[in-house]
Every structure is written in C-alpha cells, then in structure tokens.
A and B are shown apart, each in its own frame.
Chain A
Amino acid sequence: MSLLHLAIIAPFILAIFVPSLHKALPKIHTGWFLLPLPIVLFSYFLSFLPQIIRGEITMETINWIPSLGINFSARVDGLGLLFSLLITGIGALVVLYSIYYLSKEKEKLNQFYVYLLLFMGAMLGVVLSDNMVVLYGFWELTSFSSFLLIGYWNHRERSRYGAQKSMLITVFGGLSMLGGMILLYLMTGTFSISETIAMAATIYGHELFIPALICILLGAFTKSAQFPFHIWLPDAMEAPTPVSAYLHSATMVKAGIYLVARLTPVFALSGLWVWLVAGFGILTLFWGSFSAVKHNDLKGILAYSTISQLGLIMSLLGLGAAAIHYPAVEAGFYTVAVSAAVFHLINHATFKGSLFMMVGIVDHETGTRDIRKLGGLMSIMPITFTIAVIGSFSMAGLPPFNGFLSKEMFFTGMIRAQEIGFFNMETLGLIFPIVAWVASVFTFLYSMIIVFKTFTGKYQPEKLEVKPHEAPLGMLISPIILVSLVVVIGLFPNIVAPLINSVMASILPSLVAEGMKFDVHIYHWHGFTPELFMTIGVIVVGILLYKFMPRWTGIYNRMPEKFSLNSAYDNGLAGIQKGANRFTNAYMTNSIRTYLLYIFTFLILSLGTTLIVKNAFVLDTANVANIHAFELVLVIIIAIGSVSILFVKSRMTSIILLGSVGYAVSLFYAIFRAPDLALTQLVIETVSVALFLLAFYHLPKVNKNEEHMRFKMGNAVISIGVGVVVSLIALSAHSSKAFDSISQYYIENTYKKAGGENMVNVILVDFRGFDTLFEIAVLAIAALGIFSLIKLRLTRGKEQG
C-alpha cells in the first residue's frame, strides 16, 4: 500500500476514531481533531506539483479483484491533482469555519464530522481513481455522505425532503453512469480509464458508443446539477452552511465536471458529446442565473448561482472538446475554452466558497438569510461586507478580481464557437455568445443583489431575531483566506498557469501526443476586443436592470408553479409511491399460502417453458450405477413419508414425518459417499425440526374442513407440477454434459494450491470463498429480518394493548 493510497484512505481511518474522540474529550470542539488531516493532505498533494508541471504522472496500484479487472489504482495527473488540492484545501478551511459555526454544546458533532470525513475520503477517491468501478464506488459514497449531511438537521422536514431529493437524483445518475462504464468495458475490455483513453479512436463508431456516452453524461449532469436535474441543489441548501460551501459549491457538484473533463478524450470525437455538454451547459448557465434573481433567500440565490456557474464550466468543456478535431497547430485557437473552464473552476471555488461562508456568517449573526429583512449591515459587519464585495464582484466578472479574467476567457471561448467548422457550429454556434452574454447580465444582477440588498439600504433591526454584530475572528479566517486568493489570483493570474497547463494536458492528451505544449498566459488587458465590449455591456445593462427591478420582476410570477420542474418531481414521486402501493396491494393478500402459490407457479412456468422451448430434456441411462436393495428401501421410506404427510391430522406428526424424510435423504448422501453433505443434512434436519416445533406453537389449529375441494385440487396440480419439472431437470442435468466437469481441476489443485484434503470444505472456504462470504451475509440478514419482524410485531402489540 503506497502513501498515495493511504492519503485517500486516511479520512476514513480518522472517521473511525471521531466518535470516541468526541466522547473522550467533550470539552474540546471535535473539529480541532480533524483540522490537521486536510492540512497534511493538502501539503502532501502540493508536493506533487513540481513533478506534475514537469509532466510526470504518478500511478500506484493495489490489486483488488484482478480477475475482473477491478483494482484500486490511484493516479495523480494534472486534473486529479487540481481536484485533490481543492478538496483538501477548501476542506481545511471549511473544517476551521465549522468549528465556529457549529456549537459544541447543541450539535451532534460526532456524526457531523464522521459524515464530513466520509465525504472527503470518497471525493479524493473519485478524483484519483483510475479504475472506473472503484471510481463508481467512491462516487456513490459521495452521494451518501451528501445525503447524510443535507439531512443533518433531521428534525426539519425540509432537510429530510432535500436529502431524499438529492439522493434520488444523484443515485439515479450514478447508476446510469455505472451502466455507461459497463458499456465502455464491453467495448474496450478494461475498466482502467487511462487504457480506455488510449483506445478512444477504436471505439468511436461502435454501436454501444452513443448509449455509453448518454449514460455517462446522465451521471455527470445529475451530479453537477445541470438542467433539468438542477432541482436538487437548491433543496440541498438545508444543510449546515459549511457543508453547502464544501459539498454543494466547491467540490462534490464539480464531480460531474471532473467526469466530463476526464472522459473528454474518450468521447470528444463525437459531435453529440460537444453539443450535449456545451448545450446543456449553456442552458443551465442561463436558467440558473435567470432563476437566481427571483430568490429572496441568500442561500437560494447562491444555489442557483452555483448551478449557473457549473453550467458555464460545462459549456466551456463542451466547446473546448472540439479542439481535439484539429491538428495541434490550429487547436490552440479552441483550447482557450478548456483553459477558461479550468481557470474558472479554480476561481469559482475561491469566490463561491467565500460567499457561502459570508452568508453563513450573516445567517449566524442575524438569524435570517432573507434579503427582505436584511439591510444596512455595512457599518455593523465591515469585514463581512468586504468579503461579500470581493466575492460578489469577482462572481460578477469585474476587474481586478479573478472572476473578471475567467469571464473574459469564457467570452472568448464562446465567440470562437462559431469558428468551429463542423457539427453545424458555423450557424448554430452564434447561440453560444448571445446566451452567454444574457446569462452574464443576470449573473451581474444577482451578485449585486447579494451585496447591496444585504449590506446597504435601510437597517431593520426590528425584523431580526438577534442583535447583529461582527462575527468572531475564527469564523472570518477561512473566508478571508479565500477572498485573498480571489485578489491574488486576480492580480497575478499566471501563478496558477502552470497548474492549468498540466490540467489541460490531462483533458486533451491527444494534442500533447501530437507535440503540442499548453502555455497559458492570462492578461487583464487585451485591447478593445469584443470581449471587453461584452463586459461593458453586461455592467451597463446589469445596473439598469438593478435600478428598475420592481418594474420587470413581474415576469417571474408569470411562470405557473404547476409546470415547474419541482412540482413535476414532487408529483412524479407521489405518483410512483401511489402506483407502487396499489400494485403491491393488488397481489399481497397477507396469506403465505398465496405467496407460495405465486412462487411455485412461476417456477413451473419459467422452468417448464424453458425445458420445452429449448428442447432440453434428455434421458441417458448409459452411465448409471446398479440399484441396490438398500437404496430401494430408502426410496420407499421417503415416498411413504412424503405421501403420509398429506393425510395426517396433527401438525406434530407432519413435522416428525418431514424429519424422517430428511434423515433418509442424508442416508442417501452417506451411501453415495458424500460425508460432508450427509453430515450437513443430518444436523440441518435436527435443527430445523426443532425450529418447526417452535414455530408450530404459533400456528392456528389444523382445520381441514375449511378448505374447498377446488383449492385443494389447485394445490395438488401445482405441487405435482413442481415435482415433475424438478425431476425432469434433475434427469436432464445428469444426462447432458454441456461442459467438461470442473471436478478434475479441484482434484488437482486442492492440495497443491489450497493445502487441504477435504475438497468440499476447501471449495467452500477458498476456491469459492466469495460465495460463502455472501451466503453467510445473507444468512445474517435473514436472521436480522426475522428478529425485526417478530420484535416489531411484539412492540406494536404492546403499544396497542
């Protein structure tokens, strides 16, 4: 196990100890125990930076299930490193912030930090795994931890609703992503991402290529809250603010972007990919920024703003993917979209993180996030105000902050979309700069709303629950660090340029192979370019719209709530639940006899039909041993025992008869020299007779008169049917040898490879240990099921009585 794997697993290991630390040292805020970990991990990942800039990629593999091609391969390249730095860096700041945000007396900190660590480890796993199955596992783990964190205040109805919504949508996407990955595997025969990328050219045009592409994009779009799946993100804002800042703006929602960036080399050959990613991105960008303006809740605004910014990055990645179609010389013209995407990814994490923390401070100190109640806080909370100004102005795309630079590059990328000479981009490409510009106007508008509605205007202390004052220093440190980054990157953007270059090399590896070197230089001043005029236009129109807000915001009321995506989701969910209930009630009669009838009828139909359709029945008596008298006696015992069960009146007698049948069968095993089976059967028979005796205590008295003849006849037909079908299958199984027997393999290898002599047991614990592991797991689940069924019934009975 390498240090790199340890870095991914470290959060999980720490998570194990958090509850006991919390219990042992309740005086100290649990967050302090966590804080060192992300800092250490951040510096560890930082140490990769020089070699990544040199273009060296680190890959460490632990064999997990090599026979299925599933290995825990961790790979650090530019893209993975950027995300790892974000996860650990923002993670450290968020933990620090949460120490002051969550009170150690009132909150269940042990749970909170376990979930947070779970998330951190899972997210690192997502961005560093080179194996798709492992990536998928971590991906779902991020969904689970997000679910737990959104529902952290589980006494609130809205929290539970938001948690469920995010879970349903992201897990739906996750599953379809798994489908996509399996389709990719079917085409390439490998789960390794780097190997899949190497085979990209060969799978393009395969009939599974388009389905795989769509499945993967569904995963990415649901995770990154792209239209129309964005509806979960605003409801996820019920989570504590540190969580929103961490998961739902800086890291987890960017997993979809990561996936798109990571698989761009695989899919970018297809025009569909370029159009879907860019199209949904730009649509999300517009819809997010347009919807953000109508909200009164600061976190609601930030949620929609996050959606729109994710759309922005997505659309840039989509358009940038087109660069792959050009030879290295010309490609530079189009790769600007990719560099803008990467740059904006970094910038978004800094300014949006600080804004979320700012909103958390306002919420914490005033008791509300409603902009109608807030106002005039500038003089009361000057530091928070400064944070808000820098963060929002950067988001609005104003100089000299980093948001301005990436916004200009974004415009450049969008304008160049028209020049892409295929996929109908010449004509339809014009949509991109226009929509981008309109969306930017709204972005400017809501950024201004966040600052000015909160901090300027009339101070309304009567509407606030508590008397506001500036936040404690500890709470301010993290957002101050983030806004300083906003300013520093804004003034000296080229300090992140080497990192951007190496990230681009991982997104567009084919261009690197052609000898292209990415060399990004970011400037403030480009001359009087269309981008500059677009920015000026955004500011002018934005200010006008802000001034005349009451005049035009009526359009938001025109959209009826009935047709919104949210109500579609709510109605859909309610409909599914109702339908499932109705369907279940239609066949669940609460009678175990009926259920057995279903099961056995299905068995007869499916197996019987297969037997007939496949013409599978064969009877081959060539290889049959002689029948001894002893065996005949056993057969007669079994037959008499089984038949007489039908006619006995008392349950006790039936149980004993059933037991005798079982013991007779175990004697058969003994005769045919299968001592393990015989032993097992004997003991099982003993234990199950005891069980029957216990259960029999609870059964109603046998009353033969109740049953109609027809019911009995039906049962008879079905039971005879099952007997016949199973016997036919057993005979055919003996008579037909479709494959060579595997027994020779076991005979040869039991002693050599497993060091055992009892083949049956060696198969159980070694050769097929995986089966055994899951079988005992199933046994345990069954026991728990019985336990909870009976105990639940008992306690309910007590409550009623």
Chain B
Amino acid sequence: MKTNNVILETATKVILFIILLFSVYMFFAGHYEPGGGFIGGLMASGAIVLLLIAYDLKTVRKILPFDFKKVTALGLLFAAGTAAGGLFFDKPLLTHWFTYVYPPILGKMSLHTAVIFDTGVFLVVVGVTMTIIQTIGESE
C-alpha cells in the first residue's frame, strides 16, 4: 500500500538537513549549553526515522548504506579508546584533558578529549536506535 506522500517527502528533503545540522550543533554545544552526544545522537536518529516514515526502509538503506551495528562498535571504540587514553600518560582511566585555543576570527575555543568520548556516545546512540528500527522493520 504505497501512498503518494509528495508533501511529506518534499518537506523531509529540506527538514532532514535542518534536523541533522541541529543535532550536530547540539552535540558540539554539549559542554557549555544544553545538548551533548546523547541528545545529538537521538536527534540524528530522529532525522533518519523521519526519512524512514517519508520513504521506506529500502530507500533509507540506499541513502545510508552503513551497517549500523558497525557504527555502534565504532562508537564503543571511540568511548573506550578515550577512556583508556589517559593510561598512556600515566593518568587513571577516563581522565580527560582540555585546553583553550585562540584561533583568528573565531575567538576563544576550547578543545576537549571529552568531545571524542561524546562522539562515541553519539555514534552508539545512532547505531543502536537504527539497528533496532531496521531489524524490527525488516522482520515482516
């Protein structure tokens, strides 16, 4: 039963990128404003879910040909890697490190290893949500 959802499909094409962009913003804002890897990841999965509703699983698979299980694994690797990273500098597990830099034009910026950890969280959340949705969706 394929209905012709022209309005939804067209809107999705535009909105999708706005949501994705917003999710990236949320992710990076995390350390100072509301947001973070968890919310960012969920929002990105929300965007993909929208794509799913507007089109279908097959199309989404064509657009995003990743194995989301591997995305999850990559995320875990990021997180565990950051956690273990401190050990190489003779610091306890999960010790984070940060500094401030002052590039031209942009002004004060901070660099955090926590961002790498958060990237892991982001990827795991996207990976997990999409794995679950795809598996259940395909099991018809």
Contacts and interface: CB of A to CB of B under 8 A. Distances in A.
A762 interface: yes
Interface residues of A, number: 49
Closest 10 CB pairs of A and B: A761-B36, A675-B34, A683-B42, A756-B31, A755-B98, A783-B128, A776-B124, A757-B32, A783-B131, A761-B30
A622 B83 CA distance: 43
A555 to B, nearest CB: 58
Nearest to B134: A787
Nearest to A777: B76
B53 A63 contact: no
Interface string B101-138: 00000000010101001101100110111011101110
Contacts of B140: 697-698
A782 interface: yes
Contact of B33 (A67, A758, A770, A776): A758
Contacts of A680: 38-39, 42
A773 B98 contact: no
Contacts of A683: 39, 42-43, 46
A679 B40 CA distance: 10
B132 A691 contact: yes
B139 A769 contact: no
Interface of A: 1, 62-67, 675-676, 679-680, 683-684, 686-687, 690-691, 694-695, 697-698, 754-758, 760-762, 764-766, 769-770, 772-773, 776-777, 779-780, 782-784, 786-787, 790-791, 793-794
Interface in B80-108: 80, 83, 87-88, 90-94, 96, 98, 100
B90 A757 contact: no
Contacts of A63: 87, 90-92
B128 A779 contact: yes
A780 B127 contact: yes
Given A783-B131, A786-B136, A756 B32 contact: yes
Contact of B34 (A676, A697, A791, A794): A676
B68 to A, nearest CB: 8
B126 to A, nearest CB: 11
B107 to A, nearest CB: 16
A64 B39 contact: no
Contacts of B127: 780, 783
Contact of A755 (B43, B110, B135): B110
Given A686-B49, A755-B110, A780-B124, A786 B135 contact: yes
B131 to A, nearest CB: 4
Nearest to B37: A765
Interface in B10-56: 26, 29-39, 42-43, 45-46, 49, 52-53
Contact of B88 (A1, A676, A697, A766): A1
A67 B80 CA distance: 19
Contacts of A684: 42
A62 B30 contact: no
B69 A758 contact: no
A655 to B, nearest CB: 14
A754 B98 contact: yes
A698 B35 CA distance: 34
Interface centre among A62, A684, A698, A765 (most CB of B within 10 A): A765
B83 A773 contact: yes
Given A755-B100, A770-B94, A783-B128, 10 more contacts: A687-B42, A694-B137, A757-B33, A758-B31, A758-B34, A761-B36, A776-B75, A780-B127, A783-B131, A791-B135
Contacts of A686: 46, 49
B6 to A, nearest CB: 21
Nearest to B53: A690
Nearest to A786: B132
Given A66-B92, A757-B31, A787 B131 contact: yes
